[in-house]
Every structure is written in C-alpha cells, then in structure tokens.
C-alpha cells in the first residue's frame, strides 16, 4: 500500500485550498480542473490498460466538470465513450461549464439509462463530489445502484458519490469504487466509517499546486504512517536492560475469560515491554504460565491481592475478561487508585460508563462503537454518524486519549489533535482482537511513549500486523495470529 500524506482535511477546507490555488496562484480558468481530469484519466488507463468502453457519469457541480475532462481525454484516446450527464450541462457554471462545452464539442451526451453500466469496461463516477450533505435519492440513487450492480471497473473522481467527505458516512446510497484519485487535500472522511467499503485504492495527487497553498487551511486530522512508528520506536542501545522498558500489569480474566488477559499480556510483551504481570482468577494461572512462561501470573481473588503488583507496575491495562460482577468492579476500583498510566478496555469501559468518573490525563480508553455509545449515553448510529466528533466528545468527557475502534480507527488526543489509521481488514472481526490491541498500547506506554504516541502507534502496529496475517486469508484469522508480526513491526 502506498504511503499517503499525513494531513487530512474537511471538505470545506479543501475547497479553500482550491480557491487559494485558483485565485492566488494563477490556476483558475479551468487549469486546476484540467489537471485533475488528466490525473484521473492517467490512473484509469494505468489501472485498466485494456479497457475499450468507458461510461462517464457526470453530475451538476465541479465533480461533474472533472468527469467531462476525463471523457474528452478518453474520446481523443480512441476509446468508445458513453457520456451520460445526470444534470443538464447548460446549468453548469464556471470551470465546470467550460469543461462541459469542450467535451460536448467532441462527444454528444446520452440520456442516462441503467443498462449503460452493463455495457462498460470502466465506469467513471463524477456525480456528486465532496459537497454532499443529504441522502442520495431519485435518479442519482438509481445511477449508483446501476454502477454497483455492474461488473465494470469503477473509478470515483475525488470521492465516491454518496460518501460524506467529512464523516465517512454513507448517505443512503454510495458508489463502490475500485480506485479513487483525490486531489489537493485528503478528505478525512475517506478513511473511516462506511468509506473504507467504498473508496477502494486511494491515490493522492496535489496537482502541482505551490506549497504556499497549504497555508490557506489547517489540517483537521492526521493519517498515521510507518514514519511515525520509526520516530517513536528507535533502535535500542546495546546497554539496554529490561528495567528500562517498563512493567505492564494486566488486570482481568474473571471465571472462564482468562484467555483475554493472557492475549493482552503477551501482546504487551511482543510490543516490547520489559516485564509483564497478570492479575487474574487463580484457576487461570496454570494455563497462562504453561502457554507463556515469560509472563508473571498472580492469582487474585480479592482487591488486596493486587496491591503489591500495583506498586511495582509502571502501566496498568484493565478490562480484558474483567467481567461486570463484584470481582471485576472491586478490581477496577483498586486500579483507579493507581497514579500511573492506565489503559481501559472492554468491561472496564462498561463499568466506567455506569459511574461518575473524573477526566484523567494518564488514561487511554479503547472503546468499540457500542462501548462508546454507553460511555456517552447515546446510540451506536449516533456514534457512527460522525466518528471524529464522537471520539472528541469521549476525550473531552473522560480525558487522556481515546481510541474509537472500527474500520478507520479514530484516535482523539486532546491538544495533540485527531489521528486516523487506515490499516486493518475485515478479518479482525473476531474475538480477542481488542485484547491484543490493549496489550500493544500498554506495552508502548511502558516504554515511555506518551499516551497519544502509544495509542496512535499501537493502533497502526495492530492494524498492520492484521494485514500481514491476512495474507493467508481474512476469514478464520485469530487474534493470536497477529503476535508474530507485532514483534517484527515493533522493530522498524
């Protein structure tokens, strides 16, 4: 996968970058649109070199204008082009109108017919663009349905029609693209929510605008990449010893759930923690030690049993297999006295949602959407409607750093902003994945990464390890399949 730029923007900020490029850097009068169309067409030819029949669907805004440029270039290249506007070209204004006139001078338009999609080798989606803020309906919904039902390759210009560029939410109907060339600035919504199911391969091109253009708008989020991991996890000195890399204590594993605590603990060790202890139900001690003798495992039937462990720990991960019965509640209450960094996951989050916890700086929360909804007293659909806002609300309410899990995990760090991770795959939809993530983040915290660094790096390592594990197939992947890859990735 090609590394994309770090900076992400809201659609309105990208429009400001466009305006600056056109008005302040002499890229108006259709120059910027021409560049975008040429880039999109070049990607089309590279992706489908043998394609002969191209259907171009154009809408009524600048996204449609990009489509007219693509259609004109395809005609000149000798391809069989069907140009199907869903909005009257006569109603276009500015650069889009200019692009449409140039195209229509060489290729007449056809009224849209759903059957056109079935006759194409490649379909170009230039319908709705990034300005969409309401559910898709009518002829546009019909066109999107025809695109998705076809066997043709699909290129979406700038963003798949029907995807909200700010949130990643699907607005009723959305094109499923194979590749999405996007320009000037990466839209934050393309990497989370529903969008990962629709964008396909994202290819970025800055269209050659001057660097000064990017002074016109600040990024709204950042995309985590391998370079960040290299910076935060440098090679260890030859004089290294285990005491320099922290002591993680995993608290969890009520009756029948010892595996969750064991996976979190082993993940912390694989991420590089110097020492890892587990406080769990006594019945689980022999099995965990037999499976992983490097862990220190203590049976804990009452809160007092973990006091000595808390004194030696530098980081606590609480929640994997904790349960919500009296034992789990009492263990969590004891952990809440710990003054160092605490990672909270699973039932620790559910118990947190039931109480009146204060915000804390040294805390990392890793909720999935259901847990996030309980923490905010809302619903999963409301959480998913805007994952950026949801993660920010959680961070403001509970402090520290919040990892909102799911496709396109969003990490809200407070003053250090929001990060998005585009790694991971559907094979991760299985039990234990969250326990492994908890251990990875805790292991990084133990190595003196800040809560935000540990959360961001941990999410990337976890997702990238899953992608490597998925090379043998996504279906049937187990959480422990990530562990061998974690070790290699933690040594960039």
Report pLDDT digits (tens) over 368-399.
Answer: 999 999 999 999 999 999 999 999 999 999 99
Q: What integer pLDDT is reported at residue 26 of this predicted model?
A: 87
Q: Kindly list the domain boundaries of the chain, sorted by start residue.
A: 7-220, 226-489
Q: What integer pLDDT is reported at residue 29 of this predicted model?
A: 87
Only one residue has tokens 């490097």, namely 294
pTM of the entire predicted model: 0.94
Query: In terms of DSSP bridges, do strands 221-223 and 7-9 run parallel, antiparallel, or are they unpaired?
Result: antiparallel
Per-residue confidence at 355, pLDDT binned at 50, 70, 90?
Answer: confident
> b/e string for 358-378 if b means 16 or more Cβ within 10 A?
eebebbbbbbbbebbbbbbee
**Are domains 7-220 and 226-489 of this chain identical in fold?**
no
Q: What integer pLDDT is reported at residue 469 of this predicted model?
A: 98
What integer is the mean pLDDT of 173-177?
A: 98
CA distances 304 to 93, 290, 328, 334, 339, Å, are 73, 25, 13, 8, 17
**In sequence order, which residues have a C-beta less than 8 Å from that of residue 307 and are 6 or more positions away?**
334
Q: What integer pLDDT is reported at residue 485 of this predicted model?
A: 97
Q: What integer pLDDT is reported at residue 415 of this predicted model?
A: 86
Per-residue confidence at 356, pLDDT binned at 50, 70, 90?
Answer: low
Q: What integer pLDDT is reported at residue 2 of this predicted model?
A: 62
Q: What integer pLDDT is reported at residue 179 of this predicted model?
A: 98
**Which tokens belong to 9?**
């923007």
User: What's the CATH superfamily of 226-489?
Assistant: Ribokinase (3.40.1190.20)
What integer is the mean pLDDT of 329-347?
A: 96
Per-residue confidence at 75, pLDDT binned at 50, 70, 90?
Answer: very high
Give percent of the chain with pLDDT exceeding 90.
Answer: 95
User: pLDDT digits over 97-122, tens only?
Assistant: 999 999 999 999 999 999 999 999 99
Q: What integer pLDDT is reported at residue 3 of this predicted model?
A: 77
Task: Give the separation between CA 456 and CA 462, rounded to whole angstroms.
Answer: 10
CATH of span 7-220: 3.40.50.10260
Give percent of the chain with pLDDT exceeding 70.
Answer: 99
Per-residue confidence at 1, pLDDT binned at 50, 70, 90?
Answer: low
Q: Is the pLDDT of residue 364 over 60?
A: yes
What integer is the mean pLDDT of 302-307?
A: 95
Task: Give the separation between CA 264 and CA 483, rounded to whole angstroms.
Answer: 10
CA distances 73 to 69, 82, 191, 205, Å, are 6, 13, 29, 18
User: pLDDT digits over 461-471, tens only?
Assistant: 999 999 999 99
Task: Give the separation between CA 430 and CA 456, rounded to whole angstroms.
Answer: 21
Q: Comparing 277-281, 352-356, 381-385, 438-442, which segment has the lowest mean pLDDT?
A: 352-356
pLDDT mean across residues, the chain: 96
User: pLDDT digits over 235-246, tens only?
Assistant: 998 999 999 999
Q: Is the pLDDT of residue 171 over 80?
A: yes
Only one residue has tokens 């990392």, namely 364
What integer is the mean pLDDT of 248-271?
A: 98
Q: Is the pLDDT of residue 317 over 80?
A: yes
User: pLDDT digits over 47-73, tens only?
Assistant: 999 999 999 999 999 999 999 999 999
User: pLDDT digits over 186-235, tens only?
Assistant: 999 999 999 999 999 999 999 999 999 999 999 999 999 999 999 999 99
What integer is the mean pLDDT of 344-355?
A: 94
**Which tokens belong to 421?**
């991770």
What integer is the mean pLDDT of 402-417?
A: 96
């Amino acid at each position: 996968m090609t590394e994309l730029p770090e900076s992400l923007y809201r659609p309105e900020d990208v429009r400001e970058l466009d305006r600056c490029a056109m008005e302040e850097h002499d890229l108006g009068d259709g120059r910027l649109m021409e560049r975008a169309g040429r880039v999109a067409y070049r990607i089309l030819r590279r992706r489908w070199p043998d394609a002969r029949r191209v259907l171009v669907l154009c809408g009524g805004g600048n996204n449609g204008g990009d489509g007219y440029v693509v259609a004109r270039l395809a005609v000149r290249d000798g391809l069989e082009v069907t140009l199907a506007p869903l909005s009257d070209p006569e109603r276009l204004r500015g650069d889009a109108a200019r692009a449409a006139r140039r195209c229509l001078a060489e290729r007449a338009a056809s009224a849209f017919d759903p059957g056109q999609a079935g006759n194409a080798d490649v379909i170009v989606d230039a319908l709705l663009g990034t300005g969409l803020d309401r559910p898709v309906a009518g002829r546009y919904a019909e066109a999107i349905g025809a695109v998705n039902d076809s066997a043709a390759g699909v290129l979406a210009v700038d963003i798949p029609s029907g995807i909200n560029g700010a949130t990643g939410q699907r607005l009723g109907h959305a094109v499923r693209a194979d590749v999405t060339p996007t320009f000037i600035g990466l839209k934050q919504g393309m990497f989370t929510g529903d969008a990962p199911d629709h964008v396909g391969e994202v290819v970025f091109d800055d269209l050659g605008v001057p660097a000064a253009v990017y002074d016109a708008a600040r990024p709204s989020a950042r995309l985590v990449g391998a370079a960040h991991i290299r910076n935060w996890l440098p090679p260890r000195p030859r004089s290294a010893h285990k005491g320099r890399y922290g002591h993680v204590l995993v608290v969890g594993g009520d009756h029948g759930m010892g595996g969750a605590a064991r996976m979190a603990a082993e993940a912390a060790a694989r991420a590089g923690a110097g020492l890892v202890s587990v406080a769990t139900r006594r019945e689980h001690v022999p099995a965990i030690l037999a499976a992983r003798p490097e862990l220190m495992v203590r049976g804990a039937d009452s809160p007092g049993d973990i006091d000595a462990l808390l004194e030696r720990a530098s980081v606590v991960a609480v929640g994997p297999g904790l349960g919500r019965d009296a034992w789990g509640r009492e263990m969590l209450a004891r952990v809440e006295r710990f003054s160092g960094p605490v990672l909270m996951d699973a039932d620790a989050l559910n118990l947190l949602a039931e109480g009146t916890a204060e915000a804390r700086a040294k805390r990392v929360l890793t909720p999935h959407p259901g847990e996030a909804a309980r923490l905010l007293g809302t619903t999963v659909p409301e959480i998913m409607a805007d994952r950026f806002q949801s993660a920010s609300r959680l961070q403001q309410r509970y402090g520290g750093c919040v990892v909102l899990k799911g496709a396109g995990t969003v990490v809200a760090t407070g003053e250090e902003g929001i990060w998005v991770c585009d790694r991971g795959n559907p094979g991760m939809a299985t039990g234990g994945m969250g326990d492994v993530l908890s251990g990875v983040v805790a292991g990084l915290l133990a190595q003196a990464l800040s809560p935000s660094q540990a959360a961001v790096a941990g999410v990337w390592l976890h997702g990238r390890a899953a992608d490597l594990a998925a090379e043998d197939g996504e279906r049937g992947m187990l959480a422990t399949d990530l562990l061998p890859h974690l070790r290699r990735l933690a040594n960039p």
